[in-house]
A and B are shown apart, each in its own frame.
Chain A
Amino acid sequence: MGISFVRVYKANCNRLFLDNMDNENLVKDVVKEPYKYGFVTDIETEKIAKGLNESIIRLISQKKEEPKFLLDFRLKAFKKWKKMDEPDWAGLGYKKIDYQNIIYYSAPKQKEKISSLNEVDPKLLETFDKLGIPLTEQKKLTNVAVDAVFDSVSIATTFREELAGHGVIFCSISEAVKNHPDLIEKYLGTVVPASDNYFAALNSAVFSDGSFVYIPKGVTCPMDLSSYFRINSGDSGQFERTLIIAEESSSVSYLEGCTAPMFDTNTLHAAVVELIALDDASIKYSTVQNWYAGDEEGVGGIFNFVTKRGKCLGKRSKISWSQVETGSAITWKYPSCLLLGEESVGEFYSVALTNNLQQADTGTKMIHIGPKTKSTIVSKGISAGNSINSYRGLVKMGTKAAGSRNYSQCDSMLIGDQASANTFPYIKSKQPNSEIEHEASTCRISEDQLFYLQSRGIEFEEAVSMMVSGFCRDVFNQLPMEFAAEADKLLALKLEGSVG
């Protein structure tokens, strides 16, 4: 039984009307690139029955051989979730999710205990190879440690021994529960409490796997850490949970990538990420999200409801989020910072690109609690096709946040005349001695700009992608170098077919 790749090529002849260009002036029709990560890995999986109830949660916890405190955490979250309503304030339009029709645990069948990578099913290794994330000793990326998550479980984590030599713990959260239960019990749910919101409560009840990072005091993590999330199964949700703890004076850069096969059904992805930075610690968290977005008719695609939050507990601590959101049918995501420590710093750099019928509602919350805290928000939204792209952000200055500052810049770019862009900035200040600055702009790629580039011999598509990259430059500059190049290529690929 080999691995089978299901590829769907769809010709898409979209037409773009730039500014007031009329029909006569439309430039070209082009064939859209297929989603190149849309294959399915044919592998035997262990799935539990569909549906969600207390016994399912007990079953998940039992499968993972969890300690009692974690089962209690899950059950408490489930109780809360049952009393909550799915939020609708983002005004997203989608078919109601049937939570009883989802499989909450799906794992590729493997040997009971895997002691080394050589025992990982070659099909899984091949899958990650194909996604550009080689895991084997010979081929693994040399400058970055990877935790590969396939559906509900972590498959492998590279460079563990090397990292352990520096005292850095990098493993799946399931392993962390077994090997470092004290850290899990101390920190899990302290940044995003189970009752925080509907999707966080759901995740807290059913989360299956994810990554765990612990950077000890004074250590600068010797390499970038990354998790790669792969949804393979069509009918199971993915509920991963990530916890990163940076002790005093430590620092780490963490990258996250995601892809999924093309199914004509919607798959729910509800993750929770918690970051904790103590005195003088710094965490940089970068995401390139490329879940399957559905086709041009809006069929299929991932529903991405994610809660990401960082707590700057320590003095002068810093948490920086950067994200490039290009995939998913629906994105509902607000990576945030709680700035408690004096002089702590929160940053949010975001590029969100939507095309066809995608909907993105994304932004951040910067909650200034401690004095002299500082936050920066740079958001770039690009909407093409019939998509809706919204920035939603909250900047809050608490009563003790004297001398705190925020700067926000939210720019939108519209491509075509059917796409929409919204900006919803919420500002609340209880501290007169604080500064909040907000700038916003909306632009279109102008016909004159395109003509200028074309009149220098640059092809139409390349001209558009140069301008889009230019528009995103401030954010790309914040990404780790290799990620930035990838993000650039990804945007160009995503836009093919939307212009022309």
Chain B
Amino acid sequence: MKESDPLLEVENLFASTNNLPILKGVSLTVYPGEIHAIMGRNGCGKSTFSKIIAGHPSYNITNGEIKFLGENINSSEPEERAQSGIFLGFQYPIEIPGVSNLEFLRVSTNARRKFLNKEELDTFDFEELVKEKLELVKMDHAFLSRSVNQGFSGGEKKRNEILQMALLEPKIAILDETDSGLDIDALRIVASGIKKISNGQTGIILITHYQRLLDEIEPNYVHVMADGQIIKTGGSDLALELEKKGYEWTDNFLKETN
């Protein structure tokens, strides 16, 4: 797997918001086709980590670097990162009143296509493409004519995120608690969608609390995060161990290392 170059290299990353340190030296490297899971209790810095990779303006990188395809992207705008192939699936997808989902998806898809020197799609061609992708997440066509995420149920919002991933065909996808709020059937649909989209090529970082998503998408690596650091890395069995022993186990681990 490691014959190719890494997609994402995070090296000793420190970050803060409002002068409050959140990440305290995170390192992580993702190669094409790898699936990484990041687990940890609420407030450990998992979501912040994902937002910083995507370029959220509320966080400052105080030390370390993020490299994507070998280039430092510490100060790239979020849209540049997205266009070049970084995708963040939001834990809480944002509602945008009045903006049609279809138009949003089209503008977004075209921004990525433009970056890839592909022809931009007009409304008709895009409708064809989106129909095909809707199948992947078993979404109804009616979602397209509604405002972005407005009035969507929790599960519908998550499917809409995966639909966006399917359209953007990112090189790396960070999926922040995509499983939360999904019932068993929806979870299976979403998981199989993710697998089909990644097709063994996309680097995937799954941020999750639960084993059930990892039963559907087996990770190559599981990282446990606590207090802004990755305190333990292992294979998929680490997640099972965590499920059994709970996060208290990692708390003890943290005490020992400190």
A interface residues, Cβ below 8 angstroms from B = 21, 24-25, 27, 446-449, 451-460, 462, 466-467, 469-474
B60 at the interface (CB under 8 A from A): yes
Q: Is the CB of B111 within 8 A of A473?
A: no
Give the residue among B81, B98, B111 with the most A Cβ atoms within 10 A: B98
Give the distance to chain B from A281, nearest Cβ to Cβ, in Å: 32
Q: Is the CB of B58 within 8 A of A447?
A: yes
A27: chain B residues at CB < 8 Å are: 57, 77
Q: Is the CB of B82 within 8 A of A457?
A: yes
Q: Is the CB of A454 within 8 A of B79?
A: yes
B111: chain A residues at CB < 8 Å are: 456-459
Please provide the chain B residues from 73 to 101 with a CB less than 8 Å away from any CB of chain A in the complex. Answer: 77-79, 81-83, 88, 90, 93-94, 96-99
Q: Is the CB of B104 within 8 A of A456?
A: yes
Q: Is the CB of A467 within 8 A of B82?
A: no
- Cα of A472 to Cα of B57 in the assembled complex, Å: 27
A456: chain B residues at CB < 8 Å are: 79, 82, 104, 108, 111, 164, 168
B115: chain A residues at CB < 8 Å are: 457
B164: chain A residues at CB < 8 Å are: 456
B141 at the interface (CB under 8 A from A): no
Q: Give the residue name and chain of the B residue nearest to A466 (CB).
A: B99
Q: Is the CB of A455 within 8 A of B107?
A: no
B236 at the interface (CB under 8 A from A): no
Q: Is the CB of A457 within 8 A of B168?
A: yes
- Cα of A457 to Cα of B54 in the assembled complex, Å: 11
A451-B57, A452-B90 are contacts. A458–B99 as well, Cβ < 8 Å?
A: no
B36 at the interface (CB under 8 A from A): no
A456-B168, A469-B98, A472-B98 are contacts. A462–B60 as well, Cβ < 8 Å?
A: no
Q: Give the residue name and chain of the A residue nearest to B149 (CB).
A: A452
A452-B94, A457-B112, A458-B107 are contacts. A469–B79 as well, Cβ < 8 Å?
A: no
Give the distance to chain A from B175, nearest Cβ to Cβ, in Å: 13
B47 at the interface (CB under 8 A from A): no
B56 at the interface (CB under 8 A from A): yes
- Cα of A472 to Cα of B97 in the assembled complex, Å: 10
Q: Is the CB of A458 within 8 A of B108?
A: yes
* 30 A-B pairs whose Cβ atoms sit less than 8 Å apart in the complex: A21-B58, A25-B58, A446-B94, A447-B57, A449-B96, A453-B96, A453-B108, A454-B82, A455-B55, A455-B81, A455-B82, A456-B79, A456-B168, A457-B108, A457-B111, A457-B115, A458-B108, A460-B77, A462-B107, A466-B96, A466-B103, A466-B104, A466-B107, A467-B98, A469-B98, A470-B99, A470-B147, A471-B97, A471-B98, A474-B98
Q: Is the CB of A455 within 8 A of B99?
A: no
Partner of B60, one of A24, A453, A467, A471: A24
Give the distance to chain A from B231, nearest Cβ to Cβ, in Å: 28
Give the residue among B78, B111, B112 with the most A Cβ atoms within 10 A: B78
A456-B164, A457-B115 are contacts. A451–B78 as well, Cβ < 8 Å?
A: yes
**6 shortest A-B CB distances, which residue pairs?**
A470-B98, A457-B111, A470-B99, A457-B82, A456-B108, A454-B78
Q: Give the residue name and chain of the A residue nearest to B94 (CB).
A: A452
Given A449-B96, A454-B77, output 8 extra A-B contacts at Cβ < 8 Å. Answer: A24-B60, A25-B58, A453-B104, A456-B164, A459-B111, A460-B77, A470-B97, A472-B98
- Cα of A448 to Cα of B56 in the assembled complex, Å: 9
A21: chain B residues at CB < 8 Å are: 57-58
- Cα of A453 to Cα of B99 in the assembled complex, Å: 11
Q: Is the CB of B79 within 8 A of A457?
A: yes
Q: Is the CB of B78 within 8 A of A455?
A: yes
Q: Give the residue name and chain of the A residue nearest to B113 (CB).
A: A457
Give the distance to chain A from B121, nearest Cβ to Cβ, in Å: 14
Q: Give the residue name and chain of the B residue nearest to A468 (CB).
A: B98
Q: Give the residue name and chain of the A residue nearest to B88 (CB).
A: A455
A457-B108, A458-B108 are contacts. A452–B96 as well, Cβ < 8 Å?
A: yes
Q: Is the CB of B108 within 8 A of A467?
A: no
- Cα of A453 to Cα of B90 in the assembled complex, Å: 12
Give the distance to chain A from B164, nearest Cβ to Cβ, in Å: 6
Give the distance to chain B from A464, nearest Cβ to Cβ, in Å: 11
- Cα of A469 to Cα of B88 in the assembled complex, Å: 25
